[in-house]
Amino acid sequence: APMVLDILEAVLPCSAGVASGQCYCGLVGNPMSRCEYAVLGDVVNTSARLASHAKSGGHRFLCTDDFKQKVQAYGSNCLEFIPVGRMRLKGKAAESVLFVPELLDPEGSVRSRASTNVFGRDDEVRRMVSFAVSKCRSALDRVPGLAVIQGAVAIGKSTFLDHLASHLERLPADALSSEDAVRPNVIRMTTSAEHSVPFSKCQDLLQALLKSDGVKDAHIYSSLETAPTDKCPSRIRSHSREIARLQQEEPVEATRGFHGLYVQIIRASINQGPLVVLIDDAHNMDEGSLSVFTAIALEKWSFTSIRSGPAGAIIITTPRPLIVQVQAGVLRVDSGDDLTRVSCVTQLQLTSLNRDAICGMAMDVLGCTSLEPALAEFITGRSKGNPLHVRELCLWLLGQAHIHVCDEGQGSLEEGTVLENV
């Protein structure tokens, strides 16, 4: 269920209800005139109502005590059930105790064997590391670089970004700076469509920067719209009078003004030293934040009082095009051109894994050093090069005890396993 929601939430907000029991699965209606395939029954109604209540209560999943007892009777110790109150579900005579199921993933479970190693992306990682290094060392145009990593849902963008972050954090201290030999500051952020307010990602980044300065109340000063203007931290002190003025303005004028302030403050922070900002799922970002980050990279630097030095880099991921347009110096979202078509934006497309990468990932998950040809062909064909599918398919095979690893380390299907039935 978490895997399904992770995929769906890349497109739209989702919630789920988990129930167990008998139901009818089949055709409803007259096959000669009009019919449809349906899933009907009390368990379906219960799960739907739980999903609706989960959404209103701010949860991803909900289940009832009945489901909890069935799981515990099955003997599973991989789930923890967190009580979140009672509710009388429609069609039920009595109130039900509601729980949020949490995966414990105890040591030794099948899922704990799945690693987060990246396979088949060496060229892409080298390209993004080279991009970040070149932008952070460049002092020619003082404009931070912007790279957009695109790829289908579940193609491995988040894992790739984690892998990239670890590479950048392990670079030598003088790798990103031609002047001060300072270790780069790598900040990674993830966006969510469910928790997005105007300029929310700008506030998250500014909070991270203020924390790095040792500011105790970073969360208070990171939201310029409500930040106190007395005793401001050094990063925003020179803008305190403008912040105070904009806090008294009408909403439209205030939004325009705060947009400009976030651009100035964050861009100045990037130029103060080697800084690489990694943003996952940028398509979920609020319009204001996307506009700010894009403006930082696309608008020419005009603050001559800042000393020359590294320019920094912003790298974002998205499963679909990001549409922007520049009007009167302000970038607007959802109209105009695809961001990746802007000449100064670097684009990277993550595609399906090749056979070698699929087999390497499968061996890593299955815990073997080679694959029997029939098993390799099976995993390659079923997964179609999608990293998530490779991982989940291998975990399922392990969980169903379909895999045998011999003393020589070769993984194969257990004797008697019929591929057509798997």
Same domain, 137 and 204: yes
Euclidean distance between CA atoms 282 and 280, whole angstroms: 6
Same domain, 346 and 361: no
The pLDDT tens digits for 166-224 are 888 887 765 655 554 456 688 998 887 666 688 999 999 999 999 988 888 898 999 99
The candidate with the shortest Cα–Cα distance to 331, out of 295, 370, 357, is: 295
Same domain, 361 and 414: yes
**Average pLDDT of the segment spanning 389-410:** 86
Residue 59 lies in a domain: yes
Residue 127 lies in a domain: yes
Residue 300 pLDDT > 90, yes or no? no
Confidence at residue 115, expressed as pLDDT on a 0 to 100 scale? 54
Confidence at residue 328, expressed as pLDDT on a 0 to 100 scale? 44
Residue 26 lies in a domain: yes
Euclidean distance between CA atoms 403 and 415, whole angstroms: 9
Same domain, 143 and 284: yes
* Tokens (6 digits) for 68: 């909890």
- State the total domains in the chain: 3
**The total number of residues written for the chain in this structure:** 422
The pLDDT tens digits for 314-368 are 999 998 888 765 444 444 444 455 777 777 789 999 999 999 999 999 999 888 9
Confidence at residue 54, expressed as pLDDT on a 0 to 100 scale? 82
Q: Which of 350, 382, 401 is the last residue of a domain?
A: 350
Residue 113 lies in a domain: no
CATH number for 39:
3.30.70.1230
Same domain, 316 and 376: no
Q: Which of 104, 130, 149 is the last residue of a domain?
A: 104
- Orientation angle between helical segments 355-366 and 387-399, nearest 10 degrees: 40
Residue 401 lies in a domain: yes
Same domain, 371 and 333: no
Same domain, 142 and 56: no
Euclidean distance between CA atoms 333 and 417, whole angstroms: 52
The pLDDT tens digits for 37-91 are 889 988 899 899 888 888 777 788 888 888 888 877 665 566 778 887 777 788 7
Which pLDDT band holds residue 261 (cuts at 50, 70, 90)?
A: very high
CATH number for 226:
3.40.50.300
Euclidean distance between CA atoms 272 and 136, whole angstroms: 11
Q: Which of 319, 350, 381 is the last residue of a domain?
A: 350
Same domain, 319 and 237: yes
Confidence at residue 305, expressed as pLDDT on a 0 to 100 scale? 39
Structure-token match 């993933």, residue found = 105
Residue 109 lies in a domain: no
Same domain, 320 and 363: no
Same domain, 399 and 343: no
Residue 266 lies in a domain: yes
Residue 115 lies in a domain: no
Helix ranges restricted to H, 345-413 = 355-366, 373-383, 387-399
**Average pLDDT of the segment spanning 281-287:** 88
Q: What is the Cα 108 distance to its own chain's centre?
A: 27
- CB atoms under 10 Å from CB of 83, counted, come to 11
How high does pLDDT run on average in the chain?
A: 81
Domain assignment of residue 172, given as a range: 122-350
Same domain, 219 and 131: yes
Confidence at residue 371, expressed as pLDDT on a 0 to 100 scale? 95
Contact 95/88 with Cβ under 8 angstroms? yes
Beta strand residue intervals within 114-201, DSSP E: 145-151, 185-190
Same domain, 279 and 263: yes
